Structure 1
Amino acid sequence: MEPDSAPDPLRNQFASLNDLTYELASLQDLATRGSWRSILDKVARARSLNLLSKPHDHLTYLAYNVLALSKLRRFPEASSELNSLHDFNSHLYRYENYPDVYPNRSGSMLPFILRFLHAQIPIKIGNRLEGLDRFYSLLDFTRQRIKEKESKNLDVSVSLWRKREVFVMNCIIGHHLGAKEFIVCLDLISDLIRRDYLDPLLVSKLGYIRMQIGDVEGAKGSFNRVETMLNEGKSNGSLSEVEFKNLVSRNKALVYLVGKDYVSAVREYDACIERDLTDVIALNNKALCLMYLRDLSDSIKLLENALERLPTVALNETVVINLCSMYELAYVNHSEIKKTLSNWIARVAPDDFDLSCTRI
């Protein structure tokens, strides 16, 4: 929940997160555990008892409240909360408007997550064009902030805002991908790469999109570029060595998958899992390859073991959808088996998990 302003060196004086915002550590812990309903309760209590004393406290709690509502798919309520802010650029949300509370601080105290949710939520309630317009406005805003920070030689802030720029761009690309607007996606990613973003994930995404439009050779070229980056030790530091190696292996596996060489794809995924037992993408895709190889028993065991061993990592809708599809293919009494799975998920899943993916 970083504010828009630059990181404040005065923060080093604070002993804990709670010195920054009222019970912030508790909010962060609840968010980490996916306890979004508890966050709503905590925000409501803090507001009703007037426990929030400073302007930035109110904005931080509003950000967690909007995020929790969004996670719980209560998008109209989240939109209403956001609309209560009216103008994001209002002087009411700037530190310098409260010199007695924030001496020697300037800039916006609005958490960046609110700007993101302001763009995301319209898309969730069916206003795709409005949401995309807001995302492009957010991209412009982010790039303007980068220029401002660069002019002041604030390297730490520049790095933070560049990460936000890539994040916003990836959101935009994701929404265009969802609408199968592949050419727009290619242009956006190519623009980022031309501007010297040495990001293996970004170059890999370029390969995935090329694969989607049938440009297999172009995809291979992107994937080879990622492998060259690994071999030459070139990266923006976004991945560890193991993550980087697994990205390269998953890229190779995808090429094998498209060519229906499932045995070779399984070999690459096995290499990923050997390096990192928590690589859920590799686990999920290996299970799909086993299914294509008509080894339903082992594919089911693989996903079941992953869920049992790594519930906080492996429990996502994609894995559950694939496992339920395998149940439907393998068992006559798949409804009972899926009901057992659903009951287990209800006990261990975060509040925002969509149980409808079990298709019971």
Structure 2
Amino acid sequence: MATDAPSEDSTPAADGFIASDPLSSPFGSLNDLCYELSSLQELATRGSWRSILDKVSRARKLSLLQKPHEHLCYFSYNVLALIKLRRYGDVSEELASLEDLDHSIYQYESHPDVYPGRSGSMIPFALRWIHAEIPLKLGKRQETLDRLYTLLDFARTRVDEKGSRGLGVSADVWKRREVFVVNSIIGHHLSHKEFGVCVSLIRQLLSGRCRDDPALVSKLGCIQLQIGDLEGAKASFELVEKMGKEERLGSLSEIEFKNLVNRNKALVYLVGKDYVSAVREYEECIERDGSDVVAINNKALCLMYLRDLSDSIKVLENALERVPTVALNETLVVNLCSMYELAYVNHSDIKRTLSNWIARVAPDDFDSSCTRI
């Protein structure tokens, strides 16, 4: 029951599912790009992964997908749904059917009658990311790391290519993808306490094109805390605050940035076991943004450490009631159930009530075993 925040969904943003850049600009909506793509995106947002599998199956059976990139878009949503439903063997088989993602058949110029004047790969970025991640799910960690580092090189090459051609918007997209892949790699190294590699990767980004990214600097500070470098962490967090004064907010909104600063301060207080001050910082975050699940979760944990189980339970229960689509994640539910076990003799009945509610509102991929009934 660590104070680590609930992890954000590590799925690439919606633009990752759209076939590569050459197709993106001439169209005004997702449906212009691909058959009923907006409905797939809506289902994914709701976590209706089984419905996505049904929709893809129906589109294939009725031959509703006409162009190569449409098949790839639907293929991407299909494998994402499978991975969300933990059907990793099926994902591996699906990906194997594509063979080489860089094969010429997946290049626009291989279909000049369909894509006149277009060039480059039509493989969605999210599909490359899933292809990199799936070996880990099958017990092949090193293969996943190898593929992620290859994907990182791929993204960096695209950043350089787009920038040299003066395609600013496209270069920015690939910069975000570069950071996304680095964060994926860092997550794997952190799980094995390989902190030195993580620090090196972040510093490499910060010394280059991501020097104005306060979220990355904050991540560096968090890792420094984990390795016991309190002064280094404080310096990183102070740099984040300085970036705010200079209005270097990166891709964060003003509210997101302010909450990031408060959460950084709270982490330093947590290291010193000053839970009262940490609670104060998290409360500021929640007042600013009631859906800040990181602050909500960690405020509840701080209250628990202060032996205020009643209030810590209320914090999490209120969050589930107010913002269920945001607060309903396994980390928060595990913490709440742990608090029930500490606070109530009849905790099994209470957890069963929670489990029944979760069954009604949770997305298809929610792991209901986290209630430990």
TM bracket, shorter-chain basis: over 0.9
AA in 2 matched with 1:317: E
Q: 1:347 aligns with which of 343, 346, 360?
A: 360
Alignment of 1:333-344 (within 5 A): 333-344=346-357
The equivalent residue for 1:209 is: 223
Q: Which runs of 5+ in 2 are unaligned?
A: 1-16
Determine whether 1:167 maps to 2:180. yes
Determine whether 1:357 maps to 2:370. yes
- Relative contact order, CA 8 A, sep 6+: which one is greater? 2
Classify the secondary structure of the residue corresponding to 2:281: helix
Cα pair distance change 1:51/1:7, threshold 3 Å? closer
The equivalent residue for 2:21 is: 5
The equivalent residue for 2:237 is: 223
- The separation in 1 between residues aligned to 2:253 and 2:162, in whole angstroms, is 28
Alignment of 1:247-262 (within 5 A): 247-262=260-275
Shift of 1:151: 2.2
8 Å CA contact retained: 1:7, 1:157: no
Alignment of 1:270-289 (within 5 A): 270-289=283-302
Shift of 1:91: 1.3
Determine whether 1:181 maps to 2:197. no
- Residues 195-230 of structure 1, C-alpha deviations (whole Å, 9 max, x = no match): 141111100000110100111111111111111111
Cα pair distance change 1:9/1:310, threshold 3 Å? closer
AA in 1 matched with 2:20: D
8 Å CA contact retained: 1:6, 1:157: no
- Residues 20-61 of structure 1, C-alpha deviations (whole Å, 9 max, x = no match): 111111111101110000000111111112111111111111
Classify the secondary structure of the residue corresponding to 1:9: coil
Pick which of 318-327 and 44-53 moved more: 44-53
Give me the CA root mean square deviation. Answer: 1.1
The equivalent residue for 1:234 is: 248
Shift of 1:73: 0.8
AA in 2 matched with 1:5: D
8 Å CA contact retained: 2:18, 2:24: no
Classify the secondary structure of the residue corresponding to 1:105: coil
8 Å CA contact retained: 1:5, 1:106: no
Determine whether 1:46 maps to 2:44. no
The equivalent residue for 1:129 is: 142
Alignment of 1:68-147 (within 5 A): 68-147=81-160
- The separation in 2 between residues aligned to 1:324 and 1:207, in whole angstroms, is 30
Pick which of 168-177 and 143-152 moved more: 143-152
8 Å CA contact retained: 2:31, 2:38: yes
Pick which of 48-57 and 199-208 moved more: 48-57
Classify the secondary structure of the residue corresponding to 1:88: coil
- Residues 213-266 of structure 1, C-alpha deviations (whole Å, 9 max, x = no match): 111111111111111111221122x11111101100010011101101011111
* TM-score, normalised with respect to structure 1: 0.97
Classify the secondary structure of the residue corresponding to 2:54: helix
Shift of 1:276: 1.1
8 Å CA contact retained: 1:96, 1:102: yes
Q: Which runs of 5+ in 1 are unaligned?
A: none
The equivalent residue for 1:55 is: 68
Shift of 1:336: 1.0
Classify the secondary structure of the residue corresponding to 2:21: coil
- The separation in 1 between residues aligned to 2:259 and 2:22, in whole angstroms, is 34
Shift of 1:7: 5.4
Shift of 1:2: 2.5
AA in 1 matched with 2:19: P
Q: How many residues align?
A: 356
8 Å CA contact retained: 1:327, 1:338: yes
- Residues 107-158 of structure 1, C-alpha deviations (whole Å, 9 max, x = no match): 1111111100010111111100000000000001111111211221111111
- The separation in 2 between residues aligned to 1:7 and 1:103, in whole angstroms, is 11
AA in 1 matched with 2:122: M
8 Å CA contact retained: 1:75, 1:124: yes
The equivalent residue for 1:301 is: 314
8 Å CA contact retained: 2:82, 2:90: yes
Classify the secondary structure of the residue corresponding to 2:26: helix
The equivalent residue for 1:34 is: 47
